[in-house]
Amino acid sequence: MTLIERITREGLEPDVERPEPGKVLAGDPVHSTWNIEDYDGLYAGLWQSTPGKWTVAYEEWEYVRILEGHSILTGSDGSVTHLKAGDSYIIRPGFRGTWEVVETTLKDYVILT
């Protein structure tokens, strides 16, 4: 194992899945995940989703940097956050609401459970 790892999709097969059917509110989003790091409750890699909308309930802490596309996070409190290429955010445990992918979105992520 190298001590420095580049975050890239090159040469890796993604895990492909969809949100649970009961959580999907619109479309047929397909998620592709390239998990590069999995260490003691910490995960890091790349995630991509095609358009759609589904409910989310965060129990984990997540840092995201949007590389491509446009998504909208809407909190159960009515707050609306547009995530676009170049944006970075922290999503804290307890966030409840919806994730809507308007344009296929690719993000870097670091998750701490």
What is the reported pLDDT for 31?
A: 98
Is-contact 64 22, C-beta < 8 A?
no
How far the first Cα of the chain sits from its last, in Å, is 23
The 10s digit of each residue's pLDDT in 29-78 is 999 999 999 999 999 999 999 999 999 999 999 999 999 999 999 999 99
Which residue, 110, 78, 71, is CA-closest to 97? 78
| pTM of the predicted model as reported, rounded to 2 decimal places | 0.95
Geometric angle at alpha carbon 100, from 31 and 47, rounded to 5°? 30
| Environment class of 100 (CB within 10 Å of its CB; exposed 0-12, middle 13-18, buried 19+) | buried
Looking at domain 23-112, its CATH class is mainly beta
